[in-house]
């Protein structure tokens, strides 16, 4: 069923943050920072993949994502929903079901045999494609997926994610320069606010997380190596 009526954006952000905290997808550790894929340290880590195991929360957040896209991009803005390998695939399927649209997925690189394809499923020239992923940090990984979609002759001017870090100021500009608009449900700031409201972590940890969010590069530089 196509969703149509939901809370305003600020309430969606709060509820999405609450859901991520409830399933313990949010991890804060100021004493022993996590190592990100970039190799840099962070006191925060989020695992959106856990959502697929929680049907009520999964359904609610996918309704939120579908209605966010319709509100911000248009009700008839897309012809195809593409998931990014691998985390974006289940969420793309769920959003495609809600919007009654075809679903495809994009490989990180050609599979190296057979058709050597990066696009799986039927994507055709001229289709308007929405790229769905679980999250974005600085937006860089989205550009390769967008380029693969555009190589088919389709267009891709929008990407939708559940979680957007929201702490690197050039992210949306980087995507915008590539002709892509970002849509999201919540950010680290929303999660921090909800964690404080719930008392989900001790005050010292939350203060260190806030320090990181305000100046992530400086925080990482001071602690790397």
108 labeled binding residue: yes
Q: Mean pLDDT over residues 26-44, rounded?
A: 88
pLDDT grade for 79, boundaries at 50, 70 and 90? very high
136 labeled binding residue: yes
51 labeled binding residue: no
Answer for the pair 123, 105: CB distance below 8 angstroms, yes or no. no
Residues 6+ apart with CB under 8 A from 80: 101, 102, 103, 104, 123, 127, 128, 129, 130, 154
What's the confidence (pLDDT) of residue 225?
64
Q: 109-136, pLDDT tens digit by residue?
A: 887 665 668 999 999 999 999 999 999 9
Answer for the pair 162, 92: CB distance below 8 angstroms, yes or no. no
Please report, rounded to a whole number, the percentage of residues in the chain having pLDDT higher than 90.
84
150 labeled binding residue: no
pLDDT grade for 213, boundaries at 50, 70 and 90? very high
pLDDT higher than 90, residue 96: yes
pLDDT: which is higher, 157 or 110? 157
What's the confidence (pLDDT) of residue 131?
98
- 164 DSSP β-pair partners: 136, 187
133 labeled binding residue: yes
pLDDT grade for 138, boundaries at 50, 70 and 90? confident
Residue 199 main-chain phi, psi, to 5 deg: 65, 40
What's the confidence (pLDDT) of residue 54?
98
| Second CATH level (architecture) for the domain 9-22+53-188 | 3-Layer(aba) Sandwich (3.40)
> Exposure pattern of 60-79 as b/e (b: 16+ CB <10 Å)?
bbbbbbbbbbbeebeeeebb
111 labeled binding residue: yes
Answer for the pair 206, 39: CB distance below 8 angstroms, yes or no. no
Q: Mean pLDDT over residues 126-151, rounded?
A: 94
104 labeled binding residue: no
pTM of the complete model: 0.94
137 labeled binding residue: yes
What's the confidence (pLDDT) of residue 139?
82
22 labeled binding residue: no
What's the confidence (pLDDT) of residue 115?
67
Q: Mean pLDDT over residues 174-193, rounded?
A: 97
Q: Give the chain's mean pLDDT.
A: 94
What's the confidence (pLDDT) of residue 140?
82
pLDDT grade for 6, boundaries at 50, 70 and 90? confident
Cβ count near 106 (within 10 Å):
28
What's the confidence (pLDDT) of residue 114?
59
140 labeled binding residue: yes
61 labeled binding residue: no
């Amino acid at each position: 069923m196509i969703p149509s009526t939901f809370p305003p954006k600020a309430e969606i952000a709060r509820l999405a943050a609450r859901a991520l905290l409830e399933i313990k997808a949010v991890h804060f550790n100021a004493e022993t920072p996590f190592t990100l894929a970039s190799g840099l340290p962070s006191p925060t880590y989020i695992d959106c993949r856990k959502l697929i195991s929680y049907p009520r929360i999964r359904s609610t957040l996918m309704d939120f994502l579908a209605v966010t896209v319709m509100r911000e991009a248009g009700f008839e803005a897309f012809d195809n929903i593409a998931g990014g390998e691998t985390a974006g695939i289940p969420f793309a399927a769920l959003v495609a079901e809600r919007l009654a649209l075809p679903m495809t997925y994009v490989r990180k690189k050609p599979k190296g045999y057979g058709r050597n394809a990066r696009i799986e499923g039927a994507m055709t020239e001229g289709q308007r494609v929405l790229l769905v992923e679980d999250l974005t940090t600085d937006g860089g990984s989205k550009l390769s997926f967008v380029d693969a979609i555009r190589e088919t002759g389709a267009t891709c001017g929008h990407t939708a994610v559940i979680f957007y870090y929201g702490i690197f100021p050039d992210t949306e500009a980087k995507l915008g320069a590539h002709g892509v608009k970002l849509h999201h449900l919540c950010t680290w700031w929303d999660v921090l606010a909800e964690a404080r409201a719930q008392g989900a972590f001790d005050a010292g940890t939350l203060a260190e997380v806030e320090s990181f969010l305000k100046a992530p590069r400086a925080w990482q530089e001071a602690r790397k190596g």
